[in-house]
């Protein structure tokens, strides 16, 4: 078997793309989208009809509210198309500009779920993707209690992982490659062996902590910079992988060894409980997590703004 097939035997493989052709090609269990991926889809002429249909059915008292509704419907339409070709779940992201507003995040999540349900898609096939701010984690806590499952994204630090587990969120997406980016930009070392890659080390620690303390939250490594990172996390609950690396793994017929194992989690880690004050202090002490979270939110918000402009041109 090739490495992609071997990986599927130990880890749930998720496609990190909104491209339907790529999803059909690699046949992942689940798929994730985000504002950047949806912007890329929206810029593809093959998907222009989806924008037109979203705009024609959009509701709103002014152009801004109409565009907001159309963008929600566009994201859900792409999600529905993805669900036709995968057996599992699709992740649809809440507007990154709501990352520090718990109530607005909850309201947007409920809207997205209602749009999916209007298309005949049950909420158990959808993950609402939310940035791992304190406010986002508290929104997810409430949504999970309502039966709306969540994917907490832009996760870089251990404080975020602990708070998500305590909130009983369904799934977290720690960003492996972006962690590596920070260490390369802020240190002298530029090359790392896969097992020493700071992003791999971070996800491994989170995975082992969750298994040691009996948390059910799924760990889904994300944002890879090379296939070595993926291989070093073989055995992780889920891995969300872009088409480039899916193809690399498919073309490699060598043996893939399992690296993470719920029955072998290494040195014991003390259990941590965080209230808001402790969470914010722990994040403040982690320069990498603080900077990458802020940068990630800014980046997604910028792409959201570009998507707004694209829709505005078509009204």
Enzyme catalytic residues: 129
Of the candidates 201, 153, 200, 203, the one whose C-alpha atom is nearest the C-alpha of residue 173 is 153
Task: Please give the angle made by the CA atoms of 203, 123 and 102, to the nearest 5 degrees.
Answer: 65
Q: How far apart are CA 250 and CA 268, in angstroms?
A: 35
C-alpha span between 210 and 222 (Å, rounded): 17
Using CA atoms, how far apart are residues 191 and 169, in angstroms rounded to an integer?
A: 34
Structure tokens at 130: 């939310």
Q: Is 113 exposed, middle or buried (0-12, 13-18, 19+ CB in 10 A)?
A: buried
Q: Is 290 helix (H, G, I), strand (E, B) or coil?
A: helix
CB 204, CB 219: distance < 8 Å: no
Asked if 139 contacts 108 with a C-beta cutoff of 8 angstroms, the reply is no
As beta bridge partners, residue 139 has none
DSSP state of 173: E
């Amino acid at each position: 078997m090739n490495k992609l097939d071997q990986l599927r035997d130990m880890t749930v493989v998720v496609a990190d793309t909104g491209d339907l052709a790529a999803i059909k090609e690699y046949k992942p269990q689940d798929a994730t989208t985000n504002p950047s991926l949806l912007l890329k889809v929206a810029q593809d002429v093959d998907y222009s009809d989806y924008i037109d249909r979203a705009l024609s059915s959009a509701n709103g008292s002014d152009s801004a509210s109409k565009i907001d509704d159309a963008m929600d419907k566009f994201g859900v339409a792409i999600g529905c198309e993805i669900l036709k070709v995968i057996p599992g779940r699709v992740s649809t992201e809440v507007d990154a500009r709501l990352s520090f507003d718990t109530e607005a995040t909850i309201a947007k999540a409920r809207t997205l779920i209602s749009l999916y349900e209007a298309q005949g898609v049950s909420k158990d096939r959808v993950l609402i993707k939310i940035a791992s701010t304190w406010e986002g984690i508290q929104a997810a806590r409430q949504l999970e209690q309502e039966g709306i499952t969540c994917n907490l994204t832009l996760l870089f630090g251990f404080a975020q992982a602990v708070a998500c587990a305590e909130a009983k969120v369904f799934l977290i997406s720690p960003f492996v490659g972006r962690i590596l980016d920070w260490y390369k930009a802020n240190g002298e070392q530029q090359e790392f062996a896969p097992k020493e890659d700071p992003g791999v080390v971070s996800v491994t620690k989170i995975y082992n902590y969750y298994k040691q303390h009996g948390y059910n939250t799924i760990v889904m490594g994300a944002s890879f910079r090379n296939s070595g990172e993926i291989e070093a996390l073989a055995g992780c609950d889920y891995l969300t992988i872009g088409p480039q690396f899916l193809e690399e793994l498919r073309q490699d017929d060598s043996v893939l060894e399992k690296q993470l194992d719920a029955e072998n989690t290494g040195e014991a880690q003390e259990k941590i409980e965080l209230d808001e004050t402790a969470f914010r202090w722990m994040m403040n002490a982690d320069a990498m997590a603080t900077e990458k979270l802020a940068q990630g939110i800014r980046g997604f918000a910028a792409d959201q703004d570009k998507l707004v402009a694209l829709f505005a041109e078509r009204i």
